[in-house]
Amino acid sequence: MKNKLIGLLVLVATFAFTGCSGNKDNTDAGNDQIKIGMTVQDLSNPTWSGYCKAIQTKAEANGAKMSYVACESNVSKQIMQIENFVARGVDVIIVHPADPAGIENACKEAMSRGVKILAWDDDIENADVRWLIDNYDLGYQVGKEASNFINSKHGGTTEVAILNYPQLPVLLARGNGIRDSITKYAPNAKIIAETSAINPDEGITKMETIFQSNPDVKVVACIGGGGSIGANEAAKAAGKNAPDFGVFAVDATKPELDAIKNGEAVKMSMIVTGTDEDVATQVYGFVEKLATGVEVPARVYRNVIPVTAENVDKYYTANR
């Protein structure tokens, strides 16, 4: 009797163990949801908040799970965010580097743990895919559009302000491209100020200061949509919203497109890749391939398109 009882207990224990183990294996086998983490520099910038929301929507529509955070351009904070994503077991991390060199080790460690890295805008060493812009050339195209306006509206001679962001290498290159292009194509224009503005609040504040000391500024060239939106608001507040005043930028955010449609100061903004949905489709396409082991080119360069009053409806209705 004692031996039968022991045998029965062993049988029950064995069944319980294999039953639990089987349930766990079945759960893991069915848990093929792609998990994505995304860390960007600044979500107060409408460009990045728009991208993140669109990518999250695309991911969720495809059964994936995504969360995104901002590091406020603080590399130490971004390293912690990358480490947290790894600890949470994400499959892919999308990173818009605050400091490309500063995050290399964190990305390397993540890759060693099997996490795929998509680097946005920076050609960092430790990444599976680098989604890139030739930022100098992008700035050069902005400067060229601004120069065409200077030459057509002001006979080639006017005062110009540049809203740049040299704190980040990619935006430093973009700002350099703007300056070099204006210097080449509108050599008689005078660049009276170059100052940093990455978001609308900074754009407003910096332009208010510029208007106080240089009220004859007629052209503002910006490295991004944040500064552009701020410059447009500052121009409206200063009563400078006229056909001969122009803001030229990158990002084509909804407020910029609104300004173009309404005939305000923003005369052109470069859209990179296309609408937010276009961006989300491409990025999630990379993510899905990375997560499932499909080969992706190490470097992919993005297209840029100038949005003006002539084609704004195409991008406005499609995207924003």
Q: Estimate to the nearest angstrom the gap between the alpha carbon of 99 and the chain centroid.
A: 14
Task: State the residue for tokens 């608001």.
Answer: 233
- Cα–Cα distance between 123 and 174 in angstroms, integer? 15
* pLDDT computed for residue 317 by the predictor: 62
> E strand or H helix at 136, and its extent?
helix 135-154
Its CATH architecture, for the domain 135-272, is 3-Layer(aba) Sandwich (3.40)
Among 2-6, 217-221, 273-277, the least confident range:
2-6
Pairing outcome for strands 266-272 and 304-307: antiparallel
The pLDDT of residue 24 is above 70: no
- Tell me the pTM: 0.71
pLDDT averaged over every residue in the chain: 89
* pLDDT computed for residue 31 by the predictor: 53
Q: Estimate to the nearest angstrom the gap between the alpha carbon of 182 and the chain centroid.
A: 25
**pLDDT tens readout for residues 132-183:** 999 999 999 999 999 999 999 999 999 999 999 999 888 999 999 999 999 9
DSSP secondary structure letter of residue 303: P
The pLDDT of residue 12 is above 80: no
Among 26-40, 65-79, 280-294, the least confident range:
26-40
Name the pLDDT band for 32 (thresholds 50, 70, 90). confident
* pLDDT computed for residue 245 by the predictor: 98
The per-type count for the chain, helices as H runs and strands as E runs, is: 11, 12
List all residues 6 or more positions away from 216 whose beta carbon is below 8 Å from its beta carbon.
Answer: 158, 159
Its CATH architecture, for the domain 33-132+275-301, is 3-Layer(aba) Sandwich (3.40)
List all residues 6 or more positions away from 8 whose beta carbon is below 8 Å from its beta carbon.
Answer: none
Q: Which of 50, 90, 44, 48 is nearest to 66 (CA)?
A: 90
Token digits of residue 296: 């992706």
Q: How far is CA 195 from CA 160, 166, 172, 177, 205, in A?
A: 12, 9, 11, 15, 11
Beta strands in the chain, from DSSP E residues, in sequence order: 35-40, 65-70, 92-95, 116-120, 129-132, 159-164, 190-196, 217-222, 246-250, 266-272, 299-301, 304-307
The pLDDT of residue 67 is above 60: yes
User: Would you list the domain boundaries of the chain?
Assistant: 33-132+275-301, 135-272
* pLDDT computed for residue 4 by the predictor: 42
- Cα–Cα distance between 111 and 30 in angstroms, integer? 24
> Cβ distance 150 to 184 under 8 Å?
no
Among 155-159, 183-187, 197-201, 312-316, the least confident range:
312-316
The pLDDT of residue 3 is above 70: no
Token digits of residue 283: 């990025």
Domain pair 33-132+275-301 / 135-272, same fold: yes
> Cβ distance 248 to 222 under 8 Å?
yes
Cα torsion 106, 273, 264, 248: sign: positive
